[in-house]
């Protein structure tokens, strides 16, 4: 092969290489252009996907089952066969029957939707509330795969849904066991049980109401079962003081939280009973709610649903961490509470506490203890106080 032929062959090779390179460059340019177009197209598609969620109620109680309502709307002219929606909330909100992912204290829920053009889908998801607190769903992520690359495209949306989970109420009428002290056993029983001698109106029938309380005339008129509402003859204010400290030797963060949670349930139940009869009630605790800089949780006297909600919201965020001792809690009551029915909910009591509590009666107060323990442990003390015992093993 002479030089002329070699030169010609070399030229053909370079021409092939150049054409191939240009072809690959053109193909790359086309692919990149398509990917850019796909990204813009998918962003536009996702911007026309509307998503909202909201809790069915503003508040619930521990162990309640509620639901969260999701709404997805496709505002596009094209159908969207597959859309994923992810949102996260606190792990204390459980979703029965739905697979979810736990990341630290968060629970991530993924939903799959298929929407036609202009279609809207409503979906209710059942939630079980397993702990107190304020729980939020601040946002969600909408995702879909691209038609060309198959890549996942996402858009974030704000939702701002929130739910208060209040403490659970307990039926203390099946749990309390009054001691044999001749000093009374009257005060808490009066707050828990209705006084049959004071008639305050009528209300709708609730499971457990006695048949003799049914107001037959109004039942026939309203076509709903109405019962007579009895009130308390006592006009004293009710002060609920909750001791978070499980023993005099434990201070600060509490590892075993069951005792404190039981105390919160009992205190919440008494506050609910007082609210139902529109009695003035306050709440004191030697712990604080999350985010508070106070040394003690103090909510002044009030009545009605708004006051009840204020107390429940504070109790929902109450930390299981006693910032003050039971002695300091009793001293606060002595300095600030007068002419009240004082109920101290505590896991323990001793003669020092008994002596401090004795001074409260000098300011017009009537004092009773609800002790979250077995009565047999306090046989020597219960002769001198008005106390009620709630067995821990009987409280769920």
| Sign of the alpha-carbon torsion through 295, 296, 301, 302 | positive
Beta bridge partners of 94: 128
Indicate whether 119 and 186 sit together in one domain: no
Cβ atoms of 336 and 304 within 8 Å: the answer is no
pLDDT of residue 71: 96
Indicate whether 190 and 239 sit together in one domain: yes
Would 24 be classed as within a structural domain? no
Would 246 be classed as within a structural domain? yes
pLDDT of residue 213: 74
Eight-class DSSP state of 169:
P
Using the 3D structure, point to which of 230, 250, 279 is the last residue of a domain: 230
Residue 297 phi/psi, 5-degree rounding, is -85, 120
pLDDT of residue 161: 93
Name which of 68, 75, 71 is nearest 89 in CA terms. 68
Indicate whether 147 and 245 sit together in one domain: no
- Which CATH number belongs to the domain containing residue 271 in this structure? 3.40.50
pLDDT of residue 259: 87
Indicate whether 291 and 245 sit together in one domain: yes
Give the pair of three-digit tokens for residue 172.
Answer: 């203390």
Indicate whether 276 and 386 sit together in one domain: yes
Indicate whether 266 and 359 sit together in one domain: yes
Report which secondary-structure segment, H or E, holds 223.
Answer: none
Using the 3D structure, point to which of 182, 214, 230 is the last residue of a domain: 230
- Which CATH number belongs to the domain containing residue 51 in this structure? 2.60.40.10
Would 3 be classed as within a structural domain? no
Indicate whether 225 and 246 sit together in one domain: no
Indicate whether 240 and 266 sit together in one domain: yes
pLDDT of residue 258: 86
Would 78 be classed as within a structural domain? yes
Indicate whether 376 and 318 sit together in one domain: yes
Using CA atoms, how far residue 106 sits from 70, 91, 93, 101, 110, in Å, is 19, 5, 9, 8, 13
Distance CA 258, CA 320 (A): 10
Number of structural domains found in the chain? 3
CB contact set of 238 (below 8 Å; sequence gap of 6+) = 191, 270, 274, 279, 280, 281, 282, 340, 341, 343
Indicate whether 292 and 207 sit together in one domain: no
Would 127 be classed as within a structural domain? yes
Indicate whether 97 and 213 sit together in one domain: no
Residue 297 lies in domain: 172-195+234-394
pLDDT of residue 5: 65
Give CA angle at 309 (305, 310), nearest 5°.
120
Would 15 be classed as within a structural domain? no
Would 256 be classed as within a structural domain? yes
* Residues in the chain, pLDDT under 50: 176-187, 191-199, 232-234
pLDDT of residue 23: 77
- What pTM was estimated for this model as a whole? 0.78
Indicate whether 149 and 253 sit together in one domain: no
Would 111 be classed as within a structural domain? yes
Give the pair of three-digit tokens for residue 262.
Answer: 């039981």
Distance CA 174, CA 353 (A): 28
Which of 198-202's residues contact partners 24+ apart within 8 Å by CB, and which partners? Answer: 198/230, 198/231, 198/232, 198/233, 199/228, 199/229, 199/230, 199/231, 200/229, 200/230, 200/231, 200/277, 201/228, 201/229, 202/226, 202/227, 202/228, 202/229
pLDDT of residue 295: 82
């Amino acid at each position: 092969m002479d030089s002329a032929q070699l030169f010609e062959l070399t030229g053909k090779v370079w021409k092939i290489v150049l054409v191939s390179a240009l072809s690959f460059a053109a193909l790359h340019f086309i692919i990149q252009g398509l990917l850019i177009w796909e990204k813009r197209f998918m962003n536009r598609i996702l911007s026309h996907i509307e998503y909202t969620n909201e809790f069915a109620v503003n508040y619930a109680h521990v162990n309640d089952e509620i639901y969260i309502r999701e709404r997805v709307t496709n505002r596009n002219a094209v159908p969207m066969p597959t859309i994923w929606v992810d949102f996260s909330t606190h792990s204390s909100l459980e979703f029965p029957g739905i697979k979810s992912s736990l990341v630290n204290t968060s629970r991530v829920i993924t939903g799959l939707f298929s929407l036609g053009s202009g279609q809207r889908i409503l979906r209710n998801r059942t939630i079980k509330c397993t702990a107190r607190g304020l729980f939020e769903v601040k946002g969600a992520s909408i995702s879909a795969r691209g038609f060309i690359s198959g890549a996942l495209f996402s858009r974030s949306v704000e939702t701002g849904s929130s739910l208060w989970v209040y403490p659970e109420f307990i039926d203390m009428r099946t749990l309390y066991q009054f001691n044999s002290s001749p000093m009374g056993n009257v005060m808490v029983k009066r707050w828990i049980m209705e006084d049959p001698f004071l008639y305050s109106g009528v209300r709708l029938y609730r499971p457990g109401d006695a048949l003799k309380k049914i107001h037959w005339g109004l039942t026939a008129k309203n076509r709903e079962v109405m019962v007579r509402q009895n009130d308390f003859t006592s006009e004293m204010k009710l002060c609920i003081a909750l001791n978070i400290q499980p023993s005099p030797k434990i201070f600060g963060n509490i590892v075993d939280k069951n005792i404190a949670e039981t105390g919160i349930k009992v205190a919440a139940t008494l506050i609910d009973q007082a609210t139902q009869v529109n009695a003035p009630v306050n709440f004191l605790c030697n712990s604080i709610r999350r985010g508070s800089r106070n040394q003690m949780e103090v909510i002044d006297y009030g009545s009605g649903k708004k006051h009840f909600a204020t107390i429940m919201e504070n109790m929902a965020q109450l930390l299981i961490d006693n910032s003050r001792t039971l002695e300091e809690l009793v001293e606060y009551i002595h300095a600030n509470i007068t002419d009240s029915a004082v109920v101290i909910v505590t896991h323990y009591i001793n003669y020092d506490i008994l002596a401090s509590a004795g001074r409260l009666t000098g300011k017009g107060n009537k004092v009773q203890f609800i002790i979250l323990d077995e009565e047999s442990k306090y046989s020597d003390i219960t002769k001198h106080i008005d106390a009620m015992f709630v067995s821990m093993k009987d409280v769920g």
